[in-house]
Structure 1
Amino acid sequence: MKLTLLTTTVVATAAATSLAAQNRIDGQSPDAPELAAYGALPVGVRQLDFVNPDQIDILSIDPAGDPPADLPRYDRPLTVEMWYPAAEGASGETSLNAYLRDGTTEVTLEGRAVRDAAPAASGEPFPLLMLSHGYPGNRFLMSHLAENLASKGYVVASIDHTDSTYRDQSAFGSTLVNRPLDQLFVLEQMAQLNTDGGSEFAGLIDADNTGLIGYSMGGYGAIVTAGGGVTETSVGYPWGGPQGTLGIHQAGSETHEALPDPRIKTAVAIGPWGMNTGFWDAEGLAGIEIPMLFIAGSEDATSLYEEGIRAIWEGASSVDRALLTFDGGGHNTVAPIPAPAESFYFNDRLGFNVSEHYTDSVWDTVFMNNVGQHFLTAWMDLELKGETEKAAYLDLLDIGSEGLWSVNADGSLRDDHTYWKGFAEGTADGLRYEVLEATPPAVPLPASAWLLIFALGGLGVMRRAR
């Protein structure tokens, strides 16, 4: 297991290293798993600005007042950062300007994607991935995943969710209501960008073959978008969607039944929030319609593990799904970028060291992110590209440390080798990967069948009485 102890000395040393000073998002641990490596494609990055018209203005609704005759509406702005395969020879600016968790400190992140590079002239569109950050967060929080996956042949759209970013964090009800709506709106905008003859991205984006990746509240949104309707109880929470506005996502409602989009073929939820406060039950989770990968730290104190993320995984009974667990990991498992050097200070307003928003107290961030890149590559390549050979990277023993490392002197694997594919000896320790298959829904028997069963049962009783 890759461990890090965040003592004052270690933190100070880490902040002083050249790697930390550069705030690099593209780090590769020496023992990163195989599929974490960057792909062969150059990457470009570009900012897109969208407006979703005529949306419910959650912030203008008084939760304690009388229900308005008509809900206030507004045009909802959404900023998206798009990473994409770029033309060969792309060169230029490779830094990203982003705000820290404190909402005031702007920092420079360094990666490999070239700002505004010309897109690749591939002739074939690339599957679309959408990234949805936590509350609060921003579109750069998972940029290490975005850039890495784009280099392997994906267009990645990472959303700044209005009212949920470090700069504009507002009422929680906006996040609850708008996350799924934002995700589906951005999907449609990316589909239109692909068909816009005047856009240089026309023909580049396969929006009909989309994967959704959400972290924390983004994971909540991904579950709802995938078909997981929320409970009636959660719709009535006084701190939730004001005046019952969350009811559009309630399980069984017409609005929620119509929500899932067939263009989204799979979803990944990292540390998804909601089960720990009663947002789902068995009925709601059974509504999930697409295969899902869940990623969690076993010590997640925000979304909880047994009563939270693991319970969601177990409850999504209608689909095949997997759960990747980092034993000892917390809520920051896999999703956040490595803590920028400027984040290592105590913020009086927040009441904690800003770096804690990005780091884990047990796992090394770069290695943890590499594991995430490895599994997301295998999962998306299998689900969206149909690369069946990637299934071998997901056909694993449940507990990484229980695999047998058995290799010949020439490096070839012996027949009894059972260690996780793509991992070096000892590097799967502390990891678990568990799979559950869909449970077929119970088929109700017709009345005639029940009459026959009762009749046969009666005959059995008569025969036993003789």
Structure 2
Amino acid sequence: MHRHMTTTALLAASLAAGAAQAENRIDRQLPNAPELAAYGDHAVGVRTLEMVNPGQIDILAIDPAADKPDEMPRYDRPLTVEMYYPAAEGAQGETAFKAYLRDGTTEVTLQGKAMRDVDPASGEAFPLVLISHGYPGNRYLLSHLAENLASKGYVVASIDHTDSTYRTQATFGSTLVNRSLDQLFVLEQMAQKAAEGGDFAGLYDAENTGLIGYSMGGYGAIITAGGGVTEASVGYTWGGPHGTLGIHQVGSETHNALPDPRIKTAVAFGPWGMNRGFWDAKGLSGVQIPMLFIAGSQDDTSLYEDGIRAIWQNTSNVDRALLTYMNAGHNAGAPMPAPEESYYFNEDKGFNISEHYTDAVWDTVRMNNIAQHFVTAWLDSHLKGEAEKAAYLDLVEDSNAGVWSVAEDGTEKDDHSYWKGFAEGSAKGLMYETRAAGE
């Protein structure tokens, strides 16, 4: 304890002295980043949107130890959304932004490429992408991916999930029940904003939407895609109180009516739930859209063999892929680089705050760049219909087994099997596996 307190004091003094110099960039690109990680041709804008979903069940107002109420308490559920979009040519604006760390109390300045409140581009309706963070998290946790996609011609709505952010973290049952509902509500709100006119008129096509979720966001994405939770999970005493999770149970009328045809595909980083009995083969067979799963083989939160990999295997009625960072943990690919101010041991949390963003083996920026590459290839294929991007997803399963065989003029030889888009020697420690619908 004394060592931790001493370390904390020294770090606090050091960070206070150097805070003005800390850039905390979320947009870094390594020299060996794969090809499709590079930022696109569009400048990027960003705006904050406030939404309210009326009449939602107030999970926090339900006492799970008391008798089930005759009527569930209701409230108007607030949601904050960060919208990233292709910006008008020549736009100029502030690119620094404020965000809270995992400790829920430290506000830091982050730096990216997205410019605050600048005019959007015109002349093209871009696909819409929703981003859903983990528990806890916030709308900036995957900001490196959000603004990267916006530069490539996507409009991205990244959600702050009430009761699930660093500042509002509350009873887990609220996240279990509300996560998918939040995703679909934001989709509908974005569709209405596009139809209302103004700055958003014609900017994006909500009929052509992708969904990205991390951890509990991935859990929600599976539900939104059509996966139903188990009967057992509905009855967990630590879950949704008094059976409130039953609206997402496999086979229920409410869940059968849930999937939205406007969502064409989903990407799930480290999706949670298989490890705690929320999924089984029957429930996962309900997924209706192609999915890309991204995992670390040493994930000790969602688990790998009995967690994420089992979800991928049992999502049986759609085409799906699994990208694995070998020896990485739960933070594989999704979180932004750890802000400098996060490198301290927090006595209340009992861990170094930077651990929320980092991995014990992999460099975060490298993981981010690889994720940007694969998510771009996946979304371009499924939302933009760019057939040529399929080549970036047609790979030998083990990246270490890929053979680099290129002639002096750069022509690939017949035995060349290195992962497309990766420079020689840069595709290491990864697995990419695919299964077709019915397999």
SS for the counterpart of 1:79 is strand
CA contact (8 A) 1:297 1:331 kept: yes
> Corresponding residue for 2:86?
85
Structure 1 residue 18, shift from structure 2 partner: 11
CA contact (8 A) 1:83 1:150 kept: yes
SS for the counterpart of 2:108 is strand
Matched to 1:143, the amino acid is: S
1:131 maps onto 2:131 in alignment: yes
Query: C-alpha separation between the residues in 2 aligned to 1:204 and 1:104?
Result: 36
Identity %: 73
SS for the counterpart of 1:101 is coil
Q: How does 1:387-406 map to 2 (within 5 A)?
A: 387-406=386-405
Which entry has the higher C-alpha Rg, 1 or 2?
1
Query: C-alpha separation between the residues in 1 aligned to 2:61 and 2:415?
Result: 63
CA contact (8 A) 1:344 1:354 kept: yes
Q: How does 1:49-128 map to 2 (within 5 A)?
A: 49-121=50-122, 123-128=123-128
Structure 1 residue 382, shift from structure 2 partner: 0.2
SS for the counterpart of 1:22 is coil
Query: C-alpha separation between the residues in 1 aligned to 2:118 and 2:124?
Result: 18
> Corresponding residue for 1:181?
181
Matched to 2:36, the amino acid is: L
Q: How does 1:2-401 map to 2 (within 5 A)?
A: 21-121=22-122, 123-197=123-197, 199-401=198-400
CA contact (8 A) 1:190 1:205 kept: no
Matched to 1:345, the amino acid is: Y
Query: C-alpha separation between the residues in 2 aligned to 1:257 and 1:364?
Result: 41
CA contact (8 A) 1:303 1:309 kept: yes
Per-residue displacement from partner, 1:186-210 (whole Å, max 9, x unpaired)?
000000111112x211111111000
Structure 1 residue 19, shift from structure 2 partner: 12
Query: C-alpha separation between the residues in 1 aligned to 2:19 and 2:66?
Result: 54
CA RMSD of aligned residues (A): 1.6
Structure 1 residue 21, shift from structure 2 partner: 2.1
Query: C-alpha separation between the residues in 1 aligned to 2:156 and 2:22?
Result: 26
Matched to 2:96, the amino acid is: S
Query: C-alpha separation between the residues in 1 aligned to 2:89 and 2:338?
Result: 31
Q: If the length of structure 1 is used for normalisation, what is the TM-score? A: 0.90
Query: C-alpha separation between the residues in 1 aligned to 2:215 and 2:233?
Result: 17
Query: C-alpha separation between the residues in 1 aligned to 2:390 and 2:25?
Result: 31
Structure 1 residue 20, shift from structure 2 partner: 8.9
Structure 1 residue 313, shift from structure 2 partner: 0.1
CA contact (8 A) 1:275 1:303 kept: yes
SS for the counterpart of 1:103 is coil
Distance 1:299 1:99, change over 3 A: same
Q: Which runs of 5+ in 2 are unaligned?
A: 1-6
Matched to 2:310, the amino acid is: A
Query: C-alpha separation between the residues in 1 aligned to 2:258 and 2:176?
Result: 15
Matched to 1:189, the amino acid is: Q
State how many pairs are aligned: 427
Matched to 2:168, the amino acid is: D
Q: Which runs of 5+ in 1 are unaligned?
A: 1-7, 441-466
> Corresponding residue for 1:447?
none
Matched to 1:236, the amino acid is: G
Distance 1:373 1:18, change over 3 A: farther
SS for the counterpart of 1:434 is strand
SS for the counterpart of 1:27 is coil
Query: C-alpha separation between the residues in 1 aligned to 2:145 and 2:330?
Result: 17
Query: C-alpha separation between the residues in 2 aligned to 1:101 and 1:33?
Result: 29
CA contact (8 A) 1:20 1:340 kept: no
SS for the counterpart of 2:22 is helix
Structure 1 residue 306, shift from structure 2 partner: 0.2
SS for the counterpart of 1:31 is coil
Per-residue displacement from partner, 1:163-215 (whole Å, max 9, x unpaired)?
00000100000000000000000000000111112x21111111100000000
> Corresponding residue for 1:458?
none
Query: C-alpha separation between the residues in 1 aligned to 2:316 and 2:304?
Result: 18
CA contact (8 A) 1:401 1:426 kept: no
SS for the counterpart of 2:82 is strand
Matched to 2:187, the amino acid is: L
CA contact (8 A) 1:161 1:182 kept: yes
Query: C-alpha separation between the residues in 1 aligned to 2:187 and 2:300?
Result: 31
Query: C-alpha separation between the residues in 2 aligned to 1:52 and 1:377?
Result: 31
Distance 1:412 1:361, change over 3 A: same
